[in-house]
Amino acid sequence: MMMVSPDIEDDDIDGDGFSNLNDDFPLDDREWLDTDGDGVGNNTDTDDDNDGISDVDEKFWGFNPLDGIDGHDADADNDGVSNKDEIDAGSSPLDADDTKTPTKYAPIMIDDILIIIPYE
Ligand SMILES: [Ca+2]
Ligand SMILES: [Ca+2]
Ligand SMILES: [Ca+2]
Ligand SMILES: [Ca+2]
Q: Is position 37 within any domain? A: no
pLDDT the model gives residue 101 = 83
Task: Please tell me the total count of domains within the chain.
Answer: 1
Is 12 inside a domain boundary? Answer: no
- Closest ligand to C-alpha of residue 32 is 1
Query: Does residue 116 lie within any of the structural domains?
Result: yes
Q: Is residue 68 part of a domain?
A: yes
Give yes or no for a contact between 80 and 68, defined as CB atoms under 8 angstroms apart: no
Nearest-Å Rg of the Cα atoms of the chain is 21
Please give the pLDDT value at position 71: 77
Which H or E run includes 104? strand 104-110
Q: 90 CA distance to ligand 3 centroid (A)?
A: 17
Residue 69: per-residue pLDDT: 87
For the entire predicted model, the pTM comes to 0.73
User: Which residue segment(s) compose the domain that 76 sits in?
Assistant: 48-120
Å from CA of 44 to ligand 4 middle:
28
Q: What is the pLDDT of residue 104?
A: 74
**SS3 category, 46:** coil
Question: Domain for residue 118, yes or no?
Answer: yes
CA of 95 to the centre of ligand 4 (A): 7
Question: Is 32 within a domain?
Answer: no
Q: What is the pLDDT along the chain (120 residues), one digit of tens a residue?
A: 655 555 557 899 999 999 999 999 999 999 999 999 999 999 999 999 999 999 999 999 999 999 998 877 799 999 999 999 999 999 999 999 999 887 777 788 888 888 877 765
Point out which residues pair with 108 in neighbouring strands: 115
Q: What is the pLDDT of residue 4?
A: 55
The ligand with the least distance to the CA atom of 27 is 1
pLDDT of residue 112: 87
Provide the pLDDT for residue 110: 86
Ligand 4 centroid – CA 91 distance (Å): 9
Q: Which residues surround ligand 3, an ion (CB under 5 A)?
A: 47, 49, 51, 53
Burial of 49 (0-12, 13-18, 19+ CB in 10 A): buried
